[in-house]
Amino acid sequence: MPNVEILDYSPFDLDEFIDFCIRGKETSPGVAAVDEDGRAIFGVMSWLNGWGVPEAHFFHTPKDHPMTLFMVLVQKRDDGEEQRPWFSTDLSAPPKIILEPDVPGIDKQLRVDGGLGMLPGFLPIGELLAAVESDPDLDAEFVAQRKRVQDVLKRLEKDPAGTKRFLEALRSERGSKPADVFKEFNFSLRD
């Protein structure tokens, strides 16, 4: 039985967040912006692929809906013991989210006040979730990027250090130098 996680958030602007998932944030076409820590902002797809996620499915409310909810069902790798929060957490009493994003730039995209938008009334959860729809375009984008990542990983099968550097670059971890790593392995996030 697959180990599945759900990531769900309320973005400020759904169109911008969908673009962020695919492209991250760019200063010009193909050139990633950087966050305050100097990490390249590649977006959610790259980050998920950097964790070796074998499958992900994307869902959200329609763009004209008064509620803004975005969800991703993520299948963890069978050997994946890592916890992958989108934000760091502090599990002391009471637990809290620390606004230190694991996905560079995501903190500028999401509401952290718990709000979901302006609803006409207090609705049961079933009615709220009924508005959430699958996004096959985002699913296809994830699969396409995953294929490009898998092609590089196949070439790196006998190079554990190169594999580690490549995955860290996809996640834009501090000090990973993604531009250099992607050039070295002849990789592009997009076709």
Residue 190 resides in a domain: no
pLDDT at 97: 54
Residues of the chain with pLDDT under 50: 86-87
pLDDT number for residue 93: 65
What pLDDT is recorded for position 76? 76
Residue 159's CB is within 10 A of a number of other CB atoms, namely 13
Is 189 inside a domain boundary?
no
d(CA 160, CA 168) in angstroms, rounded, equals 12
Q: What is the tens place of the pLDDT at every residue in 124-175?
A: 888 888 989 999 999 999 999 999 999 999 999 999 999 999 999 999 999 9
Query: Residue 74: which residues within 8 A CB-CB, separation 6 or more?
Result: 4, 5, 6, 7, 48, 53, 55, 56, 84
Would residue 191 count as lying in a domain? no
- Tokens describing residue 98: 């620390």
In the chain, how many domains are there? 1
pLDDT of residue 25: 95
The DSSP H or E segment spanning 70 is strand 70-75
Helical H segments across the chain, by residue range: 14-23, 44-50, 125-130, 136-155, 160-171, 178-184
- Give the range of the structural domain holding residue 34, as residue numbers without chain letter: 4-184
The pLDDT value given to residue 139: 97
Instruction: Please give the pLDDT value at position 80.
Output: 55
- Look at residue 158 and tell me if it is in a domain: yes
In a domain, 175, yes or no: yes
Say if 171 falls within a structural domain.
yes
